[in-house]
Structure 1
Amino acid sequence: MSKQQVKINWLEKMAFEAEVNGHKLILDAAEEVGGENRGPRPKPLLLTALAGCTGMDVVSILKKMRVELDNFDVIVEGDLTEEHPKQFYKMNVIYEFTGKDLSLEKLKKAVSLSEERYCGVSAMFKKAIEITTEIRIIES
């Protein structure tokens, strides 16, 4: 078993500095709750983690399938509960592919492999919340 660790250091007010894989990242709260809006909030970073994890998988898989993309975006929408502790109860992952004559079957296969086999973030979230998927193709 391997272990990963992240340490954050309190800077001031609501701001923290994190070092992740040698990269520094500032986390902060909105001004109305005592922060200075110097960086992202923690919960949207969960959406970012899912988008990045599955996006990297899909790009890698499509490269092996020799599918050429002009552009690729992953959009993750998260629905939060109204009551505290506010938490995501549902996420929708939208895969937006841009290219010429893209094979829907290959795109579906790449997304499915990421979601069901490779993306550890998706696997972890699926144990706790509902995750839905959309595939959009934009012809270029």
Structure 2
Amino acid sequence: MSADSFRSVEIERTSVGQYVVRNVRGGSLSMGAGEDASFTPVELLLAAIGGCTAIDVDLITSRRAEPIRFSVEVTGDKIRDEAGANRMSNIEARFTVTFPEGADGDRAREALPRSLQQSHDRLCTVSRTVELGTPVSIVEAAGSTGD
């Protein structure tokens, strides 16, 4: 794994069901079990899916015109599947993007459908990883004490 491809976050427990997530650049956010305003892991998954495509689309379309409105609503259903395991289904990222009138806005509106498709098909690491079903390994780190 090369240094430019490696990604990581650290999650630290702050109290029962409460955590802080930190990235290597110093950013942090709170995560929890849904008992307070902290984001749940499922909400962060939905945010990552929508955010990844939002960044792609924004970078492409805003070269043509600054949007008047740019919002994304990401929804899905948390279900228990046939095997009795929890997972998300029916995930949808719904983009509402408005550009100003005029030639630049017209160019941005024309680029919007293509940029959404490009993000979905090849640019967005998050949704492509989810759709491809990449395996996840859960391991106990050396030095942990499970007793």
Tell me the TM-score normalised to structure 2 length.
0.73
Match of 1:34 in 2: none
Offset at residue 85 of structure 1 (A): 3.3
Deviations along 1:54-85, whole A, 9 cap, x unmatched?
A: 00100101123x13420110111112213553
Partners of 1:70 and 1:98 within 8 A in 2: yes
Match of 1:138 in 2: none
How far apart, CA to CA, are the structure 2 residues paired with 1:30 and 1:67? 38
Match of 1:13 in 2: 16
How far apart, CA to CA, are the structure 1 residues paired with 2:66 and 2:80? 42
Match of 1:133 in 2: none
**Which amino acid in structure 2 is aligned with residue 13 of structure 1?**
V
Task: After TM superposition, list the pairs within 5 Å mapping 1:88-99 onto structure 2.
Answer: 88-99=88-99
How far apart, CA to CA, are the structure 1 residues paired with 2:16 and 2:122? 41
How far apart, CA to CA, are the structure 1 residues paired with 2:19 and 2:119? 32
Partners of 1:28 and 1:40 within 8 A in 2: yes
Partners of 1:73 and 1:96 within 8 A in 2: yes
Tell me which of 22, 25, 36 is aligned to 2:26: 22
Match of 2:117 in 1: 112
Offset at residue 38 of structure 1 (A): 5.0
Select the structure that is richer in strand: 1
**Which amino acid in structure 2 is aligned with residue 69 of structure 1?**
P
**Equivalent residue pairs, number:** 122
How far apart, CA to CA, are the structure 2 residues paired with 1:68 and 1:3? 32
Tell me the TM-score normalised to structure 1 length.
0.76
Report the RMSD for the aligned CA atoms in angstroms: 1.9
Match of 1:72 in 2: 70
Q: Return 5+ residue gaps in structure 1 as ranges.
A: 32-36, 129-140
Offset at residue 113 of structure 1 (A): 1.3
